[in-house]
């Protein structure tokens, strides 16, 4: 018994001992876990401020990238959420500029004082792939509830955070960032900064040696880190104040950018101790976006560069190249090939100006022509005339032939397929004569311009394809015809160097996969600033980035461009007179007044032709002339006619005798449900008013079906209306097509919403088609008021009900009437109740949406809609 008791006691002791041991080990583990394995990882003593050269010697742990949970970015949309301080804050705008230049989608929120986050999740999918705070203090000082929500979102969706802390020029401040185990010293001057070559962020950025010395400003913040979960990305030494108070001088790295690996809470962050004024911060910011978005918002490393030298023979004496300059051009081209694969200068010529310099300069011309095969060549106009000044295509052709003859005489290749017009004239805005002449004489396939859609801002420049000519955006490099001498560079020579070394020109190359630069003959004579610029640019890019530079011949380059940006193929025309630069290169013979002031957009079968007839009765309202071929609607904005260009469109309209009082308009009833029409119309005629007519969508569908029957559409003849509207997904294609034309235009709310994303509500008039049919003069009064047209036209006297036709018609002299033709107001049996019931239910949700929309717009509901809504209840 006593043995059993002993055994029992012994057992009890063992259990207690074991439990105590377990407790102790849990406490110890927790301690080390919390302290990040401090003992094990403790950094050996290193110099108080790390020298760039010492980076290789840094302790292993610093360089090791801890394995984080892989980020699943398919669970979020590829949109960056940016919290800015205000709409106009400078850093906020710099952040947006980089996102826009990189063509990344973003959403801006003004950072709230306390909390209140925007909605972060939509149908189980994260709305944002990355979060950027212009002011990191707004993030760390957020109230705990919202911070908790944001952190939870970041952890669950693998979303990282980028934040900036910019000091002021005031005295030194040291503080701990709430919730982070490191100190921030702010309001400092710094010097001797360098990149941590082991940072996993680096992608575009290559770690290189920065010149020693102070950086601009005393408003820097440095992060004092001594923990392996925070990796420095850019180190710096503190310049002012000379000595930071202890203990900051021991075992400390000062960093202006740190990468929080997220080992504490599962959220990776990159924090910047200043704004983006420092070019290296900008480069690291680009890499941080890429890294924290799991490489989804990432710039490729391939960069294509084409340097055009325009006007190779055009230049005043004294500004042109002599033979030495040409030799330097050849030598530099070879030199550049070491850093830019296949680099070749692309020379544009106007043959008329050959041999118009001094004797030495003429020798330069000769050496150029002896070296024809070393370069690529493209034609300019023979006499450097602006193409928009030629109204006749034939005179343009003549000029081009002269230049082509010159090329043939001098062995200049004529098959590069690329041309550039003086001053962008004729390229954009499109002077169609130029495109046609280029095709005829030179078989041009590619050109480039800075003008599409506008010169500024440069990051919005795009390409497009018109008449099979690929128009590429062109970038500026800071060299113009008058930039000839280094010392006389506008703003001083430092400005050019700044632009090359981390400034505008450098970031043009970083942010654009394809850059076409235009330079001029004068940039290669005298101080040869062209050569200086591109050699230094290539060096700088090579030193600081991993970008691979290369040059492609223009046609290949253009194919590459539209491979990268296929969505840019379709142009978006604008009014040439809305931009002064465009107006200056718009033919005087073409006005901008031949554009409509309003559009009747449909949908079909709602009474659009009746409205058209009534409108043109008004003395100040003028319609387009019908299409000479089809006598039908123009249908410019919805279909391929759009690609014929605005000259084609404007030819349908007369030149108004009085621009203010005359109202040109166009009716194309297909515009209403077109995906493209609202965007295109808003781009060309943004101030135009838009008129739409709605009837019960079920009646509209039935009217369309009857319309197709009378046009002997085989599907409409073969299938009953019921069969058409109820056809399933496996039905024959012609039946499905007819079904779509019957039903889709009736999704009124969806289509109107689309128009309202491009036009403000006060530019949109929604007419009740039933009222137009029964009481047209009241509707026409409303239309006149909406348009602001004068004089007021009395429709109650001008219209009469024609009992024979069964509709309102125009009253002519001697009581005669002018009604619409047979195809409008047809006689057909009423829709059967089965079809009506089906359609009523089919359109239920659409009609509910429409009623909400009309309510929002403050518009009364038409009677048919009220009736339909009653059925819902
Ligand atoms: P139905 O022929 O089916 O009756 P649209 O011109 O947009 O194609 O619309 C044709 C419809 O306009 C006709 O459809 C007709 O009902 C309607 N309508 C309204 N007012 C009219 C009018 N004064 N004369 C003829 N049709 C008119």
Q: Between 246 and 35, whose confidence is greater?
A: 246
Give the C-alpha separation, 420 to 396, whole Å.
14
Q: What is the mean pLDDT of residues 126-139?
A: 96
Q: Write a three-state SS string for 278-312.
A: CHHHHHHHHHHHHHHCCCCCCCCCEEEEEEEEECC
Q: What is the mean pLDDT of residues 114-126?
A: 88
For residue 255, count other CB atoms closer than 10 A to its CB: 25
pLDDT at 5: 58
Q: What is the mean pLDDT of residues 389-408?
A: 95
pLDDT at 19: 60
Q: 1-15, 287-301, 315-329, 789-803 — which is least confidently predicted?
A: 1-15
Q: What is the mean pLDDT of residues 714-723?
A: 98
Question: What is the whole-number distance in angstroms between the Cα of residue 45 and the centre of ligand 1?
Answer: 89
What's the DSSP call for residue 658?
Answer: S
CA 366 to chain centre: 45
What's the DSSP call for residue 74?
Answer: G
Give the C-alpha separation, 47 to 631, whole Å.
85
Average pLDDT in the chain: 90
pLDDT at 246: 47
Q: Does 827 show up as a binding residue in the annotation?
A: yes
Q: 22-26, 525-529, 535-539, 822-826 — which is least confidently predicted?
A: 22-26
Q: Between 47 and 461, whose confidence is greater?
A: 461
Give the C-alpha separation, 155 to 262, whole Å.
10
Q: What is the mean pLDDT of residues 36-50?
A: 36
Q: What is the mean pLDDT of residues 45-54?
A: 50
Q: How is 778-831 classified by DSSP, letter by letter?
A: HHHHHHHHHHT-SS---HHHHEEEETTTTEEEEE-GGG-EE---TTSS---PPP
Alpha carbon separation from 96 to 99, 131, 278, 821 (Å, rounded): 5, 13, 16, 56
Decide whether any atom of ligand 1 lies within 6 Å of the 92 Cβ.
no
Q: Which residues of 841-865 are buried (b: 16+ CB within 10 A; e: fewer)?
A: ebbeebbebbbebbeeeeeebbebb
Q: Specify the 3-state DSSP secondary structure of 725.
A: helix
What is the number of the ligand 1 atom nearest to the C-alpha of 824?
2
Decide whether any atom of ligand 1 lies within 6 Å of the 700 Cβ.
no
Q: Between 7 and 468, whose confidence is greater?
A: 468
Task: Let me know: does 339 contact 538? Beta carbons within 8 Å.
Answer: yes
**Continuous segment of H or E residues that includes residue 678:** helix 677-684
Give the C-alpha separation, 588 to 752, whole Å.
37
Under 8 Å CB-to-CB from 146, ≥6 apart: which residues? Answer: 114, 115, 116, 117
Q: Specify the 3-state DSSP secondary structure of 136.
A: helix
In angstroms and rounded to an integer, the radius of gyration of the C-alpha atoms of the chain is 35
pLDDT at 270 over 50: yes
Give the C-alpha separation, 525 to 358, whole Å.
13
Q: Which residues of 294-319 are buried (b: 16+ CB within 10 A; e: fewer)?
A: bebbbbeeebbbbbbbbbbbbbeeeb
pLDDT at 815: 87
pLDDT at 222: 92
Give the C-alpha separation, 651 to 629, whole Å.
14
What is the number of the ligand 1 atom nearest to the C-alpha of 826?
2
Mutate to test the pocket of ligand 1, among 802, 804, 825, 831 (most ligand atoms within 8 A of CB): 825
**Could you tell me which residues are beta bridge partners of residue 184?**
175, 223
- Both tokens of 644, joined, read 């014929």
Decide whether any atom of ligand 1 lies within 6 Å of the 607 Cβ.
yes
Q: Specify the 3-state DSSP secondary structure of 22.
A: helix
Closest to 601 (Cα-Cα) out of 688, 697, 707: 688
pLDDT at 264: 86
Question: What is the whole-number distance in angstroms between the Cα of residue 698 and the centre of ligand 1?
Answer: 15
Decide whether any atom of ligand 1 lies within 6 Å of the 694 Cβ.
no
Closest to 270 (Cα-Cα) out of 278, 254, 262: 262
Q: Between 870 and 31, whose confidence is greater?
A: 870
Decide whether any atom of ligand 1 lies within 6 Å of the 333 Cβ.
no
**Could you tell me which residues are beta bridge partners of residue 377?**
347
Q: Whose CA is nearest to atom 5 of ligand 1?
A: 605
Query: What strands, in cross-sheet order, belong to the sheet with 807-811?
Result: 799-802, 807-811, 817-818
What is the number of the ligand 1 atom nearest to the C-alpha of 604?
7
Task: Let me know: does 870 contact 839? Beta carbons within 8 Å.
Answer: no
Question: What is the whole-number distance in angstroms between the Cα of residue 606 and the centre of ligand 1?
Answer: 6
pLDDT at 38 over 60: no
Give the C-alpha separation, 603 to 748, whole Å.
9
Task: Let me know: does 517 contact 407? Beta carbons within 8 Å.
Answer: no
Under 8 Å CB-to-CB from 560, ≥6 apart: which residues? Answer: 304, 514, 552
What length is written for the chain? 873
Give the C-alpha separation, 207 to 194, whole Å.
8
- Both tokens of 370, joined, read 């002896």
**Continuous segment of H or E residues that includes residue 28:** helix 2-34
Question: What is the whole-number distance in angstroms between the Cα of residue 823 and the centre of ligand 1?
Answer: 8
Closest to 395 (Cα-Cα) out of 412, 410, 379, 383: 383
Q: Does 824 show up as a binding residue in the annotation?
A: yes
pLDDT at 578 over 50: yes
First-to-last C-alpha distance (Å) of the chain: 85
Give the C-alpha separation, 600 to 613, whole Å.
12
pLDDT at 47: 38
Give the C-alpha separation, 761 to 600, whole Å.
15
Q: Does 704 show up as a binding residue in the annotation?
A: no
Closest to 353 (Cα-Cα) out of 530, 484, 518, 520: 520
Give the C-alpha separation, 344 to 332, whole Å.
10
Task: Give 29's pLDDT tier (boundaries 50, 70, 90).
Answer: very low
pLDDT at 24 over 60: no
Closest to 348 (Cα-Cα) out of 387, 396, 305, 381: 381
Question: What is the whole-number distance in angstroms between the Cα of residue 333 and the centre of ligand 1?
Answer: 70
Give the C-alpha separation, 643 to 461, whole Å.
20
Q: What is the mean pLDDT of residues 55-73?
A: 50
Q: Specify the 3-state DSSP secondary structure of 203.
A: coil
Decide whether any atom of ligand 1 lies within 6 Å of the 826 Cβ.
yes
**Continuous segment of H or E residues that includes residue 258:** strand 253-260
Q: What is the mean pLDDT of residues 428-454?
A: 97
Q: Does 828 show up as a binding residue in the annotation?
A: yes
Decide whether any atom of ligand 1 lies within 6 Å of the 702 Cβ.
no
Q: How is 727-767 classified by DSSP, letter by letter?
A: --TTS-HHHHHHHHHHHGGG-HHHHHHHHHHHS-GGGEEEE
pLDDT at 43 over 50: no
Query: What's the number of CA atoms in the CB half-sphere (13 Å) around residue 785?
Result: 8
Give the C-alpha separation, 442 to 682, whole Å.
35
Closest to 838 (Cα-Cα) out of 723, 759, 760, 678: 723
Percent residues over pLDDT 90 in the chain = 79
Closest to 427 (Cα-Cα) out of 326, 313, 576, 215: 576
Q: Does 703 show up as a binding residue in the annotation?
A: yes
Task: Give 56's pLDDT tier (boundaries 50, 70, 90).
Answer: low
Q: Whose CA is nearest to atom 20 of ligand 1?
A: 773
Q: 48-52, 162-166, 786-790 — which is least confidently predicted?
A: 48-52
Task: Give 73's pLDDT tier (boundaries 50, 70, 90).
Answer: low
Q: Between 626 and 666, whose confidence is greater?
A: 666
Look at the block and give the residue holding tokens 């004569």. 433
Task: Give 382's pLDDT tier (boundaries 50, 70, 90).
Answer: very high
Q: What is the mean pLDDT of residues 652-659?
A: 94
Give the C-alpha separation, 128 to 162, whole Å.
13
- Pairing of the two strands 183-195 and 160-164: unpaired
Give the C-alpha separation, 873 to 863, whole Å.
16
pLDDT at 407: 97
For residue 520, count other CB atoms closer than 10 A to its CB: 23
pLDDT at 116 over 80: no
Q: How is 368-426 classified by DSSP, letter by letter?
A: HHHTGGGSEEEE--TT---GGG--SHHHHHHHHHHHHHHHHHTT----S-B---GGGTT
What is the number of the ligand 1 atom nearest to the C-alpha of 809?
23
Q: Between 248 and 468, whose confidence is greater?
A: 468
Decide whether any atom of ligand 1 lies within 6 Å of the 770 Cβ.
no
- Pairing of the two strands 230-240 and 269-272: unpaired
What is the number of the ligand 1 atom nearest to the C-alpha of 769?
19
Task: Give 35's pLDDT tier (boundaries 50, 70, 90).
Answer: very low
Mutate to test the pocket of ligand 1, among 601, 603, 606, 607 (most ligand atoms within 8 A of CB): 607
pLDDT at 473 over 60: yes
Winning range, highest mean pLDDT, from 6-10, 63-67, 123-127, 868-872:
123-127
- Residues noted as catalytic: 605
- Both tokens of 190, joined, read 């710094």
pLDDT at 61: 47
Percent residues over pLDDT 70 in the chain = 89
- Both tokens of 612, joined, read 């058209």
Closest to 438 (Cα-Cα) out of 411, 475, 470, 406: 470
Report the phi/psi class of residue 123: left, alpha or beta, with left for phi > 0 and alpha for psi in -120 to 50. left
Decide whether any atom of ligand 1 lies within 6 Å of the 348 Cβ.
no
Give the C-alpha separation, 369 to 373, whole Å.
9
């Amino acid at each position: 018994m006593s043995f059993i008791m002993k055994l029992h006691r012994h057992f009890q002791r063992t259990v207690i001992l074991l439990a105590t041991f377990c407790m102790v080990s849990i406490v110890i583990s927790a301690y080390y876990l919390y302290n990040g394995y401090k003992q094990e990882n403790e950094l050996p003593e290193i110099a108080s401020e790390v020298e760039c050269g010492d980076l290789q010697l840094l302790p292993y742990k610093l360089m090791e990238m801890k394995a984080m949970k892989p980020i699943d970015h398919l669970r979020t949309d590829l949109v960056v959420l940016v919290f800015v301080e205000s709409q106009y804050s400078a850093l906020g705008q710099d952040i947006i500029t980089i996102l826009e230049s990189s063509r990344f989608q973003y959403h801006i929120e003004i950072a709230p004082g306390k909390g209140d986050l925007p909605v972060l999740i939509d149908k189980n999918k994260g709305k944002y792939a990355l979060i950027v705070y212009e002011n990191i203090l707004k993030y760390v000082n957020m109230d705990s509830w919202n911070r908790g929500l944001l952190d939870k979102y970041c952890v669950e969706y693998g979303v990282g955070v980028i934040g900036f802390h910019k000091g002021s020029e005031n005295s030194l401040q040291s503080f701990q960032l709430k919730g982070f185990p490191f100190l921030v010293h702010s309001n400092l001057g710094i010097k001797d900064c360098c990149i941590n070559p082991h940072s996993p962020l680096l992608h575009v950025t290559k770690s290189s040696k920065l010149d020693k010395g102070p950086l601009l400003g005393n408003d820097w913040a440095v992060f004092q880190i001594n923990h392996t979960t925070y990796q420095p990305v850019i180190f710096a030494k503190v310049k002012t104040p000379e000595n930071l108070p202890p203990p900051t001088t021991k075992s400390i790295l000062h960093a202006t950018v740190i990468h929080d690996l997220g080992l504490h809470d599962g959220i990776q962050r990159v924090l910047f101790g200043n704004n983006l004024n420092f070019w290296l911060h900008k480069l690291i910011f680009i890499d941080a976006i890429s890294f924290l978005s799991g490489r989804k918002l990432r710039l490729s490393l391939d960069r294509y560069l084409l340097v055009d030298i325009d006007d190779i023979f055009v230049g005043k004496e004294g500004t042109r190249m002599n033979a030495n300059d040409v030799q330097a051009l050849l030598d530099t081209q070879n030199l550049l090939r070491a850093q830019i694969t296949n680099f070749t200068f692309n020379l544009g010529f106007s043959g008329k100006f050959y041999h118009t310099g001094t004797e030495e300069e003429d020798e330069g011309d000769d050496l150029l022509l002896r070296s024809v095969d070393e370069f690529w060549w493209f034609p300019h106009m023979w006499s450097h005339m602006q193409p928009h000044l030629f109204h006749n295509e034939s005179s343009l052709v003549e000029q081009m032939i002269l230049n082509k003859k010159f090329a043939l005489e001098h062995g200049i290749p004529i098959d590069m397929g690329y041309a550039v017009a003086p001053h962008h004239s004729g390229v954009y805005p499109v002077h169609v004569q130029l495109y046609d002449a280029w095709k005829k004489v030179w078989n041009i396939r590619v050109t480039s311009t800075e003008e599409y859609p506008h010169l500024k801002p440069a990051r919005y420049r795009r390409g497009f394809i018109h008449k099979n000519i690929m128009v590429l955006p062109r970038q500026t490099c800071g060299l113009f015809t008058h930039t000839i001498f280094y010392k006389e560079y506008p703003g001083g020579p430092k400005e050019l160097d700044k632009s090359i070394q981390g400034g505008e020109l450098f970031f043009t190359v970083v942010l654009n996969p394809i850059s076409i630069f235009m330079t001029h003959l004068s940039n290669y004579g005298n101080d040869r600033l062209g050569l200086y610029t591109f050699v230094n640019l290539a060096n700088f890019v090579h030193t600081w980035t991993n970008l691979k530079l290369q040059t492609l011949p223009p046609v290949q380059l253009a194919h590459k461009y539209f491979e990268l940006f296929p969505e840019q193929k379709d142009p978006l025309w604008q009014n040439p007179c809305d931009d002064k630069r465009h107006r200056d290169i718009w033919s005087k013979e073409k006005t901008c007044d031949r554009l409509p002031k309003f559009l009747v957009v449909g949908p079909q079968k709602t009474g659009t032709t009746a409205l058209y007839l009534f409108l043109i009765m008004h003395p100040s309202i003028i319609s387009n002339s019908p299409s000479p071929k089809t006598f039908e609607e123009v249908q410019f904005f919805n279909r391929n006619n759009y690609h014929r260009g605005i000259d084609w469109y404007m030819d349908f309209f007369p030149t108004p005798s009085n621009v203010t009082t005359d109202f040109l308009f166009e009716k194309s009833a297909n515009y209403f449900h077109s995906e493209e029409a609202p965007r295109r119309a808003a781009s060309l005629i943004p101030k135009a008013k838009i008129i739409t007519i709605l009837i019960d969508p079920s009646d509209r569908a039935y009217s369309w079906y009857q319309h197709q029957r009378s046009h002997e559409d085989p599907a409409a003849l073969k299938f009953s209306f019921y069969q058409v509207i109820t056809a399933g997904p496996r039905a024959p294609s012609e039946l499905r097509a007819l079904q779509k034309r019957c039903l889709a235009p009736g999704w009124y709310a969806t289509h109107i919403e689309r128009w309202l994303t491009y036009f403000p509500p006060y530019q949109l008039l929604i007419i009740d088609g039933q009222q137009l049919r029964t009481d047209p003069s009241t509707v026409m009064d409303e239309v006149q008021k909406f348009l602001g047209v004068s004089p007021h036209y009395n429709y109650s006297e001008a219209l009469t009900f024609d009992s024979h036709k069964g509709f309102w018609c125009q009253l002519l002299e001697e009581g005669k009437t002018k009604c619409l033709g047979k195809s409008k107001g047809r006689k057909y049996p009423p829709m059967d109740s089965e079809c009506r019931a089906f359609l009523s239910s089919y359109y239920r949700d659409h009609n509910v949406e429409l009623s909400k929309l009309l309510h929002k717009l403050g518009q009364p509901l038409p009677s048919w809609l009220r009736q339909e809504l009653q059925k819902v209840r």
